[in-house]
Amino acid sequence: MLFDLRPKEKREELYGREKELEELHRLTKSEWVVVLGRRMTGKTSLLKVFLNEVGGLYVNLAGVRSMRGFVEELMKHARKLNIEITMGPLTISWTRLAEDVFSKLEGRIIGLDEVQELPRNYMLKLLKKVWDTYDVKLVFTGSLVGVITGLLEPTPQSPLYGRQPAKIELKPFPSDVGVEFLEAGFREFDMRPPRLEVEEAVESLGGYPGWLAYYGNMRCVRGLGHREALEQVYSEGKQVLTQELKKFLAGRKNPERYVRLLKLLPAKWSELETALGINAKVLSDMLDSLERAMIIEKKGSTYTIPDPIMRRLVLEL
Ligand SMILES: Nc1ncnc2c1ncn2[C@@H]1O[C@H](COP(=O)(O)OP(=O)(O)OP(=O)(O)O)[C@@H](O)[C@H]1O
Ligand SMILES: [Mg+2]
């Protein structure tokens, strides 16, 4: 069911991602892969469908911040494949234990979902060892911070320098695909809401499969009307994206200035420079970090906030 709120697990339920799924199959024959994308673009769904097709192992690392936590999750999932790993009599390091687990998983594909909070340096060292020693294919998802940045943009000193994984970026659906997605989902419930409502939903939520599925679910499963469903998704989306924004701002020297900048968008460079009264280097660094965090995008010479939910919540800040 397209409007199911859990990540999809089967190809038939995964809408409009045939190309990305094939690419994942093709790339993982020889490479490690990072799946990138904003919230609710369907990263977990793509990963799970793929892993089910190749008999791979799915490991959810959301909220895991230590090597110990990583090893425990890995072992928990390995046990599901009847792979038993016991700790030796001497306490060895968590990194060594992780290596043991990987050695037992040779020949498999392992999906590590949401790796962004793991300790970067330990993980990169471990991954280098795994890369050099074991026949294990890895697929990662996470935001472009921590381990993911270490993998995709390694410094020459990084253990994985010269071994960058391939990258698949999940974009929101274009408007027409968003509309088709909703119509296909409604058909599963024998519903045919007016075209204008469907178009308005895509326009105000963007082509994010996650927000669209949530909207469809509110209408078909919860029985809400069009407006109520839109408001419900907005308030849920606002909470999720406010958290994302807070996490981003928490690491900045001058968070208020970022908020001021965001409120000015869409805008061109010169407009921002004038309105904020800051020097070019500072502005360029701010725009760069916002772009890397996938909060803004540059279209031609204009900087915009592509996600309509983020756009609206920024104005309410
Ligand atoms: N291609 C798709 N076809 C059908 N439903 C999808 C698709 N992609 C995502 N969904 C639905 O959208 C919701 C969010 O999907 P998922 O958890 O895979 O996204 P995500 O990018 O991992 O989100 P997050 O950023 O929160 O981790 C779920 O309800 C899922 O069923
Ligand atoms: Mg996810």
More confident call, 253 vs 85:
253
**pLDDT for res 15:** 97
Q: Which among 42, 54, 38 is positioned nearest to 5, based on CA atoms?
A: 42
CATH number of the structural domain spanning residue 134: 3.40.50.300
| Dist. CA 5 → ligand 1 center (Å) | 8
Per-residue pLDDT band for 193 (boundaries 50, 70, 90) equals: very high
Work out the average pLDDT over 89-101. 80
Least confident interval from 83-87, 178-182, 246-250, 274-278: 83-87
For residues 39 and 236, give the distance between their C-alpha atoms in angstroms, rounded to a whole number: 12
- The yes-or-no verdict on residue 90 having pLDDT over 70 is no
Same domain? 152 vs 38: yes
User: End of a domain among 148, 170, 192?
Assistant: 170
| Dist. CA 7 → ligand 1 center (Å) | 5
Which of 5, 15, 34, 40 should be mutated for ligand 1, with most atoms under 8 A from CB?
Answer: 40
Q: Which structure tokens are listed for 288?
A: 């760069």
Residue type at 174 in one-letter notation: P
Same domain? 115 vs 190: no
Angle, in degrees to the nearest 10, between helices 308-316 and 255-264: 120
Ligand at shortest distance from the CA of 113: 2
| Dist. CA 257 → ligand 1 center (Å) | 32
Same domain? 165 vs 27: yes
In Å, how far are 29, 103, 307 from 297, measured between CA atoms? Answer: 32, 41, 10
Per-residue pLDDT band for 84 (boundaries 50, 70, 90) equals: confident
Q: Give the structural domain span for 194.
A: 173-249
Per-residue pLDDT band for 92 (boundaries 50, 70, 90) equals: confident
Ligand at shortest distance from the CA of 209: 1
CATH number of the structural domain spanning residue 195: 1.10.8.60
Residue 8 lies in a domain: no
Range list of H helices, the chain: 18-27, 43-54, 67-80, 94-104, 120-133, 146-152, 175-187, 195-205, 209-220, 226-250, 255-264, 269-276, 280-292, 308-316
Per-residue pLDDT band for 37 (boundaries 50, 70, 90) equals: very high
37 CB less than 6 Å from ligand 1? yes
Instruction: Express each pLDDT in 104-147 by its tens digit.
Output: 899 999 999 999 889 998 999 999 999 999 999 999 998 777 88
**pLDDT for res 79:** 85
CATH number of the structural domain spanning residue 277: 1.10.10.10
Residues constituting the chain: 317
Residue 12 lies in a domain: no
For residues 307 and 208, give the distance between their C-alpha atoms in angstroms, rounded to a whole number: 9
Residue 7 lies in a domain: no
**pLDDT for res 150:** 85
138 CB less than 6 Å from ligand 1? no
Domain count, the chain: 3
* Neighbouring C-beta atoms of residue 256, cutoff 10 Å: 10
User: End of a domain among 216, 231, 249?
Assistant: 249
User: End of a domain among 142, 170, 198?
Assistant: 170
Same domain? 134 vs 191: no
Tell how far CA 79 is from the center of its chain: 26
**pLDDT for res 158:** 85
Instruction: Express each pLDDT in 201-228 by its tens digit.
Output: 999 999 999 999 999 999 999 999 999 9
**pLDDT for res 80:** 82
Per-residue pLDDT band for 309 (boundaries 50, 70, 90) equals: very high
For residues 94 and 121, give the distance between their C-alpha atoms in angstroms, rounded to a whole number: 14
Percentage of the chain beyond pLDDT 70 is 98
**Using the 8-state DSSP alphabet, how is residue 174 labeled?**
P
Same domain? 40 vs 164: yes
For residues 81 and 93, give the distance between their C-alpha atoms in angstroms, rounded to a whole number: 24
Share the mean pLDDT of the chain. Answer: 93
Residue 207 lies in a domain: yes
**Would you give the end-to-end CA distance of the chain in angstroms?**
36
21 CB less than 6 Å from ligand 1? no
Same domain? 71 vs 135: yes
| Dist. CA 38 → ligand 1 center (Å) | 11
Least confident interval from 9-13, 95-99, 202-206, 233-237: 95-99
Cβ atoms of 45 and 202 closer than 8 Å: no
**pLDDT for res 59:** 95
- The yes-or-no verdict on residue 89 having pLDDT over 80 is no
